[in-house]
Amino acid sequence: KVSLSRLVLLARVNGSYLKMTDRPENANDECVGTASEQAGKASACAGCPNQAACASGATKEVDPAIAVVAEKLSGVKHKILVLSGKGGVGKSTVSSQLAFTLAYQGFSVGLLDVDICGPSAPRMLGLTAAEVHQSGSGWQPIQVDLDLGPESDSMGEGGAAKEEGELLVMSVGFMLPNKDDAVIWRGPRKNGLIKQFLTDVDWGDLDYLIVDTPPGTSDEHLSIVQYLKGAGVDGALLVSTPQEVAMADVRKEINFCKKTKVPVLGVVENMASALVPLAQAHFTDPATGRDVTQEALEALAAKAPELMGLLLRSDVYPRSGSGPEGMAQQFGVPFLGSLPMCPDLTSATERGVGYIKNHPEAPASKPLKSVVDQIVQRTRGGLVGGSLST
């Protein structure tokens, strides 16, 4: 079993542990970053113990770990980052269901959860009791029991039929002694763990590696992008809800992708509106607060049975302008579609099962399948930003 304490030790003894963070743990508060042209020269560098090393240019040397990661991931055909900038918009839901859906289509898929302080993958993949073990080839990711049936669309990347897909998962959540333990780490320690996930995990041959990231544009994001330079990233999937408080941060994430030269595969609007089948709705008497669901549904079924097949829609978030679709148009990146807020989707993520597999007729199934199909088309066909990538 691989423990969290062992990971910390490995991170500490790794020679490039501090370099990849772009900001050493013992740096001044106003550190400009070790890769900056002003590193070691800016006024903020005065008195910093790293000033001499930064000024000499030593910190700008290419980290040999980049080549190690490239070699380790040489069997992974496509790497996708799932980003947002804002917490609570459903990145982990989209990441986990993207992984499930690709696996149901016959692809070999890995899901890497790099949200060190808030890992969701164990719960959302139904692996809360799993533990990571080490073999001669490295740490073994946890395999999800997909229980693929004959109805699954099992086609591999070359178009050849595959008996079943595969879904492997790695997360710090598997290594916590207690699932409620807080991971209280500064950036360098988190980045050291990310490196271990990329260099020491035996991912094997995969069609897709999905990287579920935390909110923001900070240490973890810089590290994952830098470490994957040699391996190559197909692009980023950006997730947003429709209100301005979320889109403001997603716009920053789009600019982060531009600055770090990560192609944007597309924007997904999540929780665009709540859709609930009328037959599953609950009714409350506003005067008394009493639940009158049974009486209301019986009355509707008796007097207007044709309504029982309808969906109730509620726009939970106030839409800002033309929403994420308009934002995508503004930045010239693809808009892949809108996913409604659906009780069955929430239930699937809580139970750690695939939504499309278990709820094929639910409101968000077709939109989710469309998003996944577009991602497959863009990664396998080289389409990025609406045109052939160069």
pLDDT at residue 322, as a whole number = 94
List all residues 6 or more positions away from 175 whose beta carbon is below 8 Å from its beta carbon: 2, 3, 4, 7, 131, 132
pLDDT score at 180: 85
Is 124's pLDDT higher than 70? yes
Please enumerate in sequence order all residues whose Cβ is within 8 A of that of 321, keeping only pairs 6 or more positions apart, or say none: 244
Q: pLDDT above 90 covers what percent of the chain?
A: 64
Q: What's the confidence (pLDDT) of residue 4?
A: 53
Residue 13 clears pLDDT 70, i.e. is over it: no
Contact 161, 106 (CB under 8 A): yes
Average pLDDT of the residues of the chain: 86
Instruction: Give the pLDDT of residue 2.
Output: 55
Partner residues linked to 143 by β-bridges:
168
Question: Which range is least confidently modeled, 13-22, 204-213, 246-255?
Answer: 13-22
Question: pLDDT tens digits, residue range 308-357?
Answer: 999 999 998 999 999 999 999 999 999 999 999 999 999 999 999 999 99
332 vs 129, higher pLDDT: 332
More confident call, 249 vs 21: 249
Residues 381, 389: Cα–Cα separation, whole Å: 9
Position 191 pLDDT exceeds 70: yes
CB 162 within 8 A of CB 106: yes
